[in-house]
Amino acid sequence: MLAGLAAVVLATGCSTSPPVDPKDQNASLVYGYFDMKNAPSSLDWVSIKQYGATSFYYHAGAKDGLFWHIGIDPGSYQVEKFGGLKRLLIFSNEVEYNYGTRGRNETAIRVTKPGLYFMGAYRYVAHDGGLFAPDKFEMQPVTSPTERELLSRILAEMEAKQELRAYTRQIGLVKQRLAEL
Amino acid sequence: MDRRRFALLLPTFALGGFAAGCGTIHPQVQQLSDIDADSVMLVGRIELLPALRPEEQDLKMTSFGDWDPLGGKQVMVNRAILYLTDRPDAPREPTRSVSNPPLEQLFFMQIPRRQRYVAHAVVFLKHRLRVTSSRTADVDTTELWLPLRQEFDIRPGDRALYVGTWRVQRDEFNEVTGVRVLDHYATALVEMRKRFGGDAGLRAALPRWRDTPRSFAGR
């Protein structure tokens, strides 16, 4: 799906999600990957929207294309927006990409029971809108990095950071999934 | 007024123009004499399944919250926006000719006879003006895209066409998963004659679809 690119300067992005209780048995780990090499900006954050009777946003940080969140409640989700910084010399602008504002996109998932949910790996492909039309983009599925590579990165980070080691259930789920892949 | 506040007003007024005159919004027919030689009345109904909940539409037409001096919000609240064109090959994008039938009720919309094609159709779920700097603004929208690109079968002599009930099934992501066209002609005729008089004529002309929703392809 082609999506509109809104290159706007924003004071702030989405609000931060509330802290996740490590004992929360309902929480799922949701993760994905966006290759932004051909995008005008970096990828610094991803806004995962809950759809349905209630609307809620999870704000996930991103590093080297990988984004993940350890505390997603059951529901229907997809990436609605993502963004990062466009840098030019000493200047930088926040760029925001509208991805899920016109129906379902490729990242859509239904979290039916607590577990791991992979939104997929994609690369940003730009489409020049010409002189008078706005530029557009699409997110094309990629096979590399693999889910296994991404989960390995998540596991390494969770085991390395003191504040993430408390999420033993999620760490166990990651190890279990890695053994299956 | 300081420069910054004036700058804030500029994009406000510029984008409020959607309702005021950047395009033409064709009105609902009030009486049969509204329909002249260059126009025709469409009678039909658009149903969303599930229906739109009031809180699903977040419409802010200016950068000053609910301030809406040009009445742009009323153009969109619980209404579909049909972008009309006279070109059969028009791309799926907004045009300057708009019909905005109310959802979930029988509509009586006047449209130009020449603009018999629906190029694009949406329901705005979110429409928020954001001032992004002292000189720029953008509109942040979330849209339910309706797969209603079609040609109306307008013939010489037609004054009123019955185009059916378009029942649009959507999923929780606001992706349309199916459209059914139902023929409720008899009910529509009774309602129309109640409203416009007993001799009002109505020809059934159920639409010809021009494309298929992508979601029908097994998503």
Question: Which chain A residues have a beta carbon less than 8 Å from that of B175?
Answer: 103-104
Q: Identify the bridge partners of residue A29 per DSSP, sorted by sequence position.
A: A116
What pLDDT does residue B22 have? 62
What pLDDT does residue A87 have? 87
Instruction: Confirm whether the ipTM is greater than 0.95.
Output: no
Mutate to test the interface with A, among B123, B125, B172 (most CBs of A within 10 A): B172
Question: Which chain A residues have a beta carbon less than 8 Å from that of B174?
Answer: 51, 103-104
What pLDDT does residue B211 have? 56
What pLDDT does residue B8 have? 43
Given a cut of 70, is residue A3 above it in pLDDT? no
Going by pLDDT thresholds of 50, 70 and 90, the confidence category of residue A4 is very low
Domain boundaries, chain A: 3-11+26-143
Those residues of chain B that have pLDDT short of 70 are 1-22, 134, 208-219
What pLDDT does residue B21 have? 42
Greater confidence (B20 vs A122) lies with: A122
How does DSSP classify residue B215? G
B28 HSE (CA, 13 A, CB side): 19
Given a cut of 90, is residue A119 above it in pLDDT? yes
Whether CATH 2.60.40 fits A3-11+26-143: yes
pLDDT tens by residue, A14-56: 334 568 899 999 999 999 999 999 999 999 999 999 998 888 8
What pLDDT does residue B72 have? 80
Nearest CA in chain B to A78: B173
What pLDDT does residue B116 have? 95
pLDDT tens by residue, A144-181: 999 999 999 999 999 999 999 999 999 999 999 999 99
Please, what sign has the CA dihedral across residues B194, B27, B211, B128? negative
Question: Which chain B residues have a beta carbon less than 8 Å from that of A98?
Answer: 140
CA distance B103 to B48: 8
Mutate to test the interface with B, among A78, A101, A106, A127 (most CBs of B within 10 A): A101
Q: Across all residues in chain A, what is the average pLDDT?
A: 88
A57 in reach of chain B (CB within 8 A): no
What pLDDT does residue B212 have? 57
What pLDDT does residue A138 have? 93
In sequence order, the 6+-apart residues with CB closer than 8 A to the CB of B18 are B72, B75
DSSP state letters, A89-132: TTEEEEEEEE-SSSS--TT-EEE-SSSEEEEEEEEEEEE--TTT
pLDDT tens by residue, A88-101: 888 888 899 999 88
What pLDDT does residue A17 have? 56
